Structure 1
């Protein structure tokens, strides 16, 4: 049975790509045919005359199924700003249905495990009428919420979780992602979120100096999905 999830965060730079890549690499170690997709990305540089987003490139390398860059990141915008503004400045219209079509086309490729990474947080606008959450609602894949543990995360995490559930999408679990500087009262904040969020805590990711040290944490996280 295929397992597919949508990865979102409580805000930008929450650690979505870190979690996505870590789970994809864990799936690869488990022998699964894995696919990571970043349907829209704002912030790219020219590499051999092609715009490339660094997060999408990491996902391409972490996936065990060989896909072209265009399949992984069909909509890439150059400016590292809100996607709908970046698209407007480039004279492009991005819609949820168009992104859904790209994703479903790529997911026809044989696979066991797939992660669709959003951009920014749950309510990032795609255009004047739609949000990225509209794409997640159409896909109806269970959602993994990444919480960057910092001051303000309680409010952001609780509001995001409420919005996901209110949109009728399953919140399968959340990940506590800690930065290099551990937030004050980390354990107390972690306990508060564990009590207040309806979904289970999938894993706690401390700051790892050596990326190899995180492998066990991601392997354990994968086993819970």
Structure 2
């Protein structure tokens, strides 16, 4: 099983949209049948559905995957409040740590999957508790990382800072994807060029503003992505 971790420059910049597009692209553009699933370890902001807390991002990943698993497996830490996960966990009496994440990831490694697309929560440096970070777990598991850059004012600084910290921690960003989240942003093309000039990694795609997030896979270079984790 090959894994790809999806992180971003901020929250609400399209990690789920891009993760779903990658899942669909791997499934639809493969010359051979590939089994692909999404994994959203931590989700804050869940609704009670059929007696179980569920998050719309995790449900979106499940909808596009062609390997079906239980909601609990896809999103083991489902928190009700739409706030920082470590604060929500404290308020709701949940305990999230690297050891638990290791256990859940190991369960995925026992499945007959070709690809597991792992979506983070928030940005790169997300606290799990008072002393551990989600980023530390990603580096420990040596997952290839795709950075989603939400194109809005300040995105160049956010992208460069994120890339710098990931590299300093020993993480491996294999590529980045520009996602137009602000249709009114000025000089979008110039910003993408500035990012491409400064980020020392391939650009895997530029996704236009899509109100319904349709056909995202068409704007992502799936073949290049596969070659970078071969």
Moved more, 101-110 or 85-94: 101-110
CA separation of 1:213 and 1:93: change in aligned 2, threshold 3 A: closer
Equivalent residue, structure 1, for 2:78: 76
For each residue in 1:188-207, what CA deviation from the matched residue of structure 2 results, as whole angstroms up to 9, or x when unmatched? 11111101111111100002
* Structure 2 Cα separation of the partners of residues 215 and 24 of structure 1: 8
Equivalent residue, structure 1, for 2:228: none
* Structure 2 Cα separation of the partners of residues 116 and 213 of structure 1: 20
C-alpha deviation, 1:216, in angstroms: 2.0
For each residue in 1:107-163, what CA deviation from the matched residue of structure 2 results, as whole angstroms up to 9, or x when unmatched? 311111111110000011110001110111111111000000000101110000011
C-alpha deviation, 1:208, in angstroms: 2.8
* Structure 2 Cα separation of the partners of residues 68 and 61 of structure 1: 12
Q: Find 2:35's aligned residue among 30, 33, 36.
A: 33
Unaligned runs of at least 5 residues, structure 2: 226-230
Equivalent residue, structure 2, for 1:121: 123
- Number of aligned residues: 222
Moved more, 26-35 or 209-218: 209-218
Contact in 2 for aligned 1:100/1:138 (Cα 8 Å): no
Moved more, 152-161 or 90-99: 90-99
Equivalent residue, structure 2, for 1:23: 22
C-alpha deviation, 1:182, in angstroms: 4.1
Report the TM-score, using the length of structure 2 for normalisation: 0.92
CA separation of 1:92 and 1:213: change in aligned 2, threshold 3 A: closer
Unaligned runs of at least 5 residues, structure 1: none
CA separation of 1:4 and 1:150: change in aligned 2, threshold 3 A: same
C-alpha deviation, 1:214, in angstroms: 3.2
SS of the residue corresponding to residue 178 of structure 2 reads: strand
CA separation of 1:213 and 1:115: change in aligned 2, threshold 3 A: closer
Moved more, 169-178 or 107-116: 107-116
Equivalent residue, structure 2, for 1:178: 180
Equivalent residue, structure 1, for 2:219: 217
C-alpha deviation, 1:69, in angstroms: 0.6
* Structure 1 Cα separation of the partners of residues 169 and 43 of structure 2: 23
Contact in 2 for aligned 1:37/1:73 (Cα 8 Å): yes
C-alpha deviation, 1:87, in angstroms: 0.2
C-alpha deviation, 1:212, in angstroms: 4.2
* Structure 1 Cα separation of the partners of residues 211 and 153 of structure 2: 22
Equivalent residue, structure 2, for 1:91: 93
* Structure 1 Cα separation of the partners of residues 213 and 60 of structure 2: 14
Contact in 1 for aligned 2:166/2:173 (Cα 8 Å): yes
Contact in 1 for aligned 2:18/2:216 (Cα 8 Å): no
The Cα RMSD (Å) is: 1.3
